[in-house]
Each structure stands twice: as structure tokens, then as C-alpha cells.
Chains A and B, each alone.
Chain A
Amino acid sequence: MTKEVMTANKAVAEAARLVKPKVIPVFPITPQTSISEYLAQYVADGDIDAKYVKVESEHSAISAAVGASGAGVRVFTATSSQGLMLMHEIIFAAAGMRVPIVMANANRAISAPLSIWNDQQDSIAQRDAGWLQTYVEDAQDALDSTLMAYKISENDDVLLPSMVCLDGFILTHTVEPVDIPNQEDVNKFLPSYNPKHSFLDPKEPMTLGALADPGYYFEARHAIEIGMEKSIDVIKKTCKEFEEIFGRKYDLVENYKCDDAEIVLVAMGSVCSTIKAVIDELREEGEKIGLLKIRVYRPFPVDEINDAIKNCKKLSILDKNITFGIGGALYSDIKAKINKETYGFIIGLGGRDITPDTIKEVYEKTKNPEKDVTWVGLKKEDD
């Protein structure tokens, strides 16, 4: 193991190098671009024995990924924002065809207006596609989650693609110290990919991507639901195995001082670091506040959420996305599944700064609620 200072994009590229993908179809887009550049260089230098497919769009990137995965090899790709929107159709097809692709998504706002800055609307808009989604907090998490994503997606009980979501610029372009695992440990954790069926093998001909009439489609969709449900245990098991080999602990959620908290903030991604700092400060002032970090958003970890928040009085949900007319997506999921007094807060869209004061405002507005859903950080009329 070596420690290096790097961006989360580099950390993701390092993970992609360590899992030894055979095909990498990728199209550059801000702020994902350096991932596609690092991988091109690794292939050019012979550090990865892979075919780097210089596709002409994100739609073709994910399409080539499905084709390559269907032909029985490990595949990696990465995108962001508009690119993910362009992939949308094939994102659903990839899940339906049960190909265990792993893709990094550098979270960025969606046009219009055009924005290259961070929020999580892009991947949130894919939440119903049948992909597993992990939202990482830092560069180390980005590397580790990418490694784990392969083991989870390739599990026969799951066979669903994974999206590793990292906040654009906040993580993708910020350098942090990262432990890079050595190849032997990664090989032990994630052996080379031997799919049960190499579908596109002339010696074992199979039809992949057939038409299903109403007599079969329903069951095919239900099978995805079963895979999603089973993935919860597979994720837990994978986190445990990961900890045994690499010593870093992960779970579906992270409980940060929730057990005696009266108000628990719920959030995903890099903002959790800011929230933790605010919690430490407010705790010193005697405030009973905690954070529940949703690390894995799909599958949605209902039992783990319930367990972590059982003692608190109120929940405040922080969303970097908006489902217009409802509130945030995480807010609406929690309202649907968790029986607790809950308030929703829309923050940070299109890269609007989220400062400790933003978090304190959320906390105050949860203590003294005025409405169910509040946008925090909007400019005042005279600003």
C-alpha cells in the first residue's frame, strides 16, 4: 500500500486500473474528464491491458460497455451530467440486461441553464433505472467504493450495474491523501472476472436482449427488484471482506452521533464532511444533533436508516437535487419509507456554496419549522 496525494478523479482511475478492466469505452466531460485522461494514459503506457474505445458520445460509451460486458469481460466507464442524460436510455437497458458494468459519475448540475458545477440531480434522475448507487464522501471513499462496486455488481445474486457518484469539483478536483492498495490485495479481494455465462461465445450461443411480451416482461422487471433486495446483504458482506483486507470500514449508511441526537440530518456525498464539522461544533454547545450519511442510495437501506434514527425526534433531509413540487428525492424516499417527523431542505444546486452556516440554518429551521420543504441559500431580493 502506498499513500499519495490526489484528486478523487485520480483515485477512481487508480481503482479502475487495479480491477483490470478489459474494455474501457469512455467519453470526456467536465468534471469527469481527468478520469478519461488518466485511463487513456494507463492504457498507452501498458499499465492496463485493456482496449480503450474512443467513442464519439456518452450514448456510445454506455452502449459499447453493454456490448463488451455481454461478451464476458470486466468493463469500466465514467461520465457526468449531460453525458449521463444522454446515456439515460441505455442506463435502463444495462440494468435490464443484467450486465455488471461499473461507472463513475462526477456529479454535476443539469442544463438549463448550463452549469458545470456540482449538485446531484444527474445521478438522482437515474435512480429508477435499476443501478446500484453509492455516494462517496472523499477521495478514499471514491477509490474503495469503485473496488467494492465490482464485487457487488458481479455477484450472481445481484448482477446489476453500479454507479459510483462523486461530487464534481468538490471531490473530483480536490487533492487529498489516499491509500492506494497494492495489486496483490486487490486480486485477493476481487479475483479476475469469470462470468457464469459468457453470452456472446460461438461455442455457447445465447440470445441477449430479446423482446418480451406481457407474458414475460413483468417477471423480468421483478427479477431486477429481487437483485436489488439481495444486494443489501451482498453489500454488507463485501464491506466486511473489504475491511478485513484493507482495514477501512464501510457500510450502507454511516451513523454519526445519531444515537442520542434529537435531530438527525440526513445527507449524501461530500457535504457530509461539512455537516460532521458543524455537528462537532454544535455538540460542544450542548445541541443534540447527529448525521445519518446515506452512502448507498440504491438499494435504499430502509432497515439501516430506521435503526440509526430510532431515538431521534426529527429528521432533516438535505438534497442537492429537486423533484419539482415534492422536494428532494431523498426527502421523498424517506417520507415514503420512514415514520418520523421529517423536513426537507434543498441546498447547493448548481454549485451554490454550502457553508457551515447553511447547515446551521437547516438545523435551526428543523427546530422551529415553518414549512415542509425549504430552499436554503437562495439570494435575498436585495442581494
Chain B
Amino acid sequence: MKLPEEELLSSGHRGCAGCGASIGVRLALKALGRNTVAISATGCLEVMTTPYPETSWEIPWIHVAFENAGAVASGVESALRIQGKDDVNVVAFGGDGGTVDIGLQSLSGAMERGHNLIYICYDNEAYMNTGIQRSGATPFGASTTTSPQGKNSFGEDQHKKDMPMIMAAHGIPYVATASISYPQDFMKKVKKAAEIDGPAYIHLNQPCTTGWGYDSSKTIELGKLAVETGAWILYEIENGEFNLTHNLRKRKPVTDYLGAQKRFKHLQDKEKEEIQKYIDAQCAKVGIE
């Protein structure tokens, strides 16, 4: 697949060097094209791309609050469709906080009502905008400022909420996981989501140089490691049918992934083993060896 050269999220925004969220949005918009309206939840993306009077968005864009991107997108979609603008793509971007935590209710409503829109969760696995506080998407063992490692703590003590499967339980026509490190796979999924009539949900794993603690040149590498170790599984569920979209022949040990990030640096063998066991079980569930 040849990537379109046109950028619909302009450079010059306030994202960190190596920011995974902006890579994700650029790819999504390359897949969707100009005939698209975007909605953002409050978060990194909104703050870094729209410092008034500047904007990075070359397409119409709206932001209202943290927890309501699903509902705002519902209103936008309803208004466009009732005006006969059926060909306009409606895409909402929410971070993991705005999606799996505070925005879950409004997103669930939007999915259940059958709006023809795409919701993309750009998941950097904590509240990065406010300085690395844990979210429901923070993985087991990660040290964040609100799940810090300490004398009595190894960091986050719960596994990541399985958001894509919660979305799939809504019975919507399309759910997929994706990674910014697999751009062709991600863009193919975005295009598919746009073509399908009805709600589509894509959960996008995107490493965060600041929150995960790695060199800003390694963002794509980290995303790859997540997939290659099975810590992040790429799949899609189309009209209820589950398919893996990345053939993982031989998984790398999760220590390769954990060791590359500051947020896991403190872990002892015991926690690392538990994480490996958890990933093994998750992989086994979907038929990955």
C-alpha cells in the first residue's frame, strides 16, 4: 500500500518528539481523506493540536470535553446524515482515559445506537496529558505517578481492561485492534471501518516516549515489540467473526518488551513471570502459540 503524501494533521503541533498519538492520527486521516469530520476527547491530542489561534487540523474538527466524545460524535453524525451528507466520514479520537474510563458510558451509548461513525482509541496506557497517571488501560506492573512502585508496591496491580471485547459485546459490525507500528494493517482497518455501515471501533496501541520511558527514536520499535511479544494482539471482528490479522510465528519473551521501558524497570522476576503467564493465556485464548 502506498501512503498518500498529503498530511491532514499538519506538522508544527506540540506533540513530543516521537509521539505515537500523532503518528496514529496522521495514518488514520491518510486512510480517510479530506471528506472527514473529526471529534476529539480532551487529552494529549486535543491539547497539542489546537492551541488557539493555531490548529493542526486540515479537516473540520470539534472538541467539547473529556468524557463525551462518543456523544458529541453522535450529534455530529446525526446532523450530517439528516442533511443528506451520507458520504462524510465521522471519526472520533479518544485517549485510553477518555475511552476506557471516563468516556465509557457515552461511547457505549453511541455504539449501541448504531451511528455510522468510527471511534479510534489511541491507547498510550495512562493519562499522559496530565503527567502519567494510571488508567484502566495501564498494564500490570507499570509504574505510573498514581500506581507508583515503592517499598510495598510493584506498580499497577491490575491487568488492562479488555476494551475491544467490551465494544465487541455491543454487537457492532466492526471491531479491530491495531498498532501504529503496523501502518498498512492499521490503515486497512480504518478504510474497512469507513466502508462498513454502522459503528466501528479501533483500539490503537501507540507507544508514548514520555510515559513509557524510552528514547524518542524508538517509538515504532516499541510498538513492534508489543506485538512480537504478544503483549498486544492484532485482530479484527467483522460482523461477529474473529480473525487474527498478524501471523505471529514465534513470540519473543515479554522481558524483551519490559526491559526496553523505564515504567517496568523496577519489576522483579516474580512479576515478570506473572506478566509472561498472563500474556501466554491471552494468546492461547485466540490461538497464538
Contacts and interface: CB of A to CB of B under 8 A. Distances in A.
A10 interface: no
A55 B109 contact: yes
Nearest to A97: B64
Contact of B46 (A57, A73, A211): A211
Contact of A22 (B58, B63, B83, B108): B83
A67 B67 contact: no
Nearest to A71: B79
B98 interface: no
12 contacts: A51-B81, A55-B71, A55-B109, A59-B67, A63-B68, A64-B71, A67-B71, A200-B60, A204-B60, A210-B51, A210-B63, A216-B53
Contact of A68 (B47, B51, B75, B88): B75
Contacts of B83: 22, 71-73
A207 B57 contact: yes
Contacts of A22: 79, 82-83
A353 interface: no
Interface in A13-28: 22-23, 25
B255 interface: no
B39 A67 contact: yes
Interface in B70-126: 70-76, 78-83, 88, 105-106, 108-109, 112-113
Contacts of B59: 202, 205
A178 interface: no
Contacts of A200: 37, 60, 62, 76, 79-80
B79 A23 contact: yes
Nearest to A24: B78
B170 to A, nearest CB: 12
B34 interface: yes
A360 interface: no
A54 B35 CA distance: 27
Given A53-B75, A56-B105, A67 B64 contact: yes
Interface residues of B, number: 43
Contacts of B60: 199-202, 204-208
Interface in B177-204: none
Contacts of A201: 60
Contacts, number: 157
Interface string A59-89: 1110111111111110100000000000001
Determine which residue in A63, A68, A69, A72 has the highest number of CB atoms from chain B within 10 A of its CB, and name it.
A63
Interface in B202-242: none
A190 interface: no
Interface of B: 34-37, 39, 46-47, 50-53, 55, 57-65, 67-68, 70-76, 78-83, 88, 105-106, 108-109, 112-113
A67 B92 CA distance: 12
B52 A93 contact: no
A106 interface: no
Interface in A209-228: 209-213, 216
Contacts of B61: 205-208
A49 interface: yes
B106 A50 contact: no
Nearest to A209: B63
A97 B76 CA distance: 15
A54 B74 CA distance: 10
Contacts of B74: 25, 53, 55, 60, 63-64, 67
Nearest to B46: A211
Contacts of B52: 210-213, 216
A202 B62 contact: no
A90 interface: yes
B182 to A, nearest CB: 28
Given A22-B82, A67-B71, A202-B35, A57 B64 contact: no
Contacts of A57: 105-106, 109
A208 B62 contact: yes
Contact of B57 (A23, A50, A67, A205): A205
A46 to B, nearest CB: 13
B75 A66 contact: yes
Contacts of A59: 67-68, 71, 106
Given A206-B61, A209-B50, 11 more contacts: A53-B78, A56-B105, A57-B105, A63-B64, A67-B39, A67-B75, A68-B76, A71-B79, A208-B60, A210-B50, A212-B52
B46 A199 contact: no
A216 B51 CA distance: 10
Nearest to B74: A64
A71 B55 CA distance: 18
Contacts of B47: 211
A141 to B, nearest CB: 29
A207 B39 CA distance: 10
A73 B75 CA distance: 10
Contacts of A72: 79, 83
A55 B61 CA distance: 22
A203 to B, nearest CB: 9
Determine which residue in A57, A71, A90, A206 has the highest number of CB atoms from chain B within 10 A of its CB, and name it.
A71
A209 B51 CA distance: 10
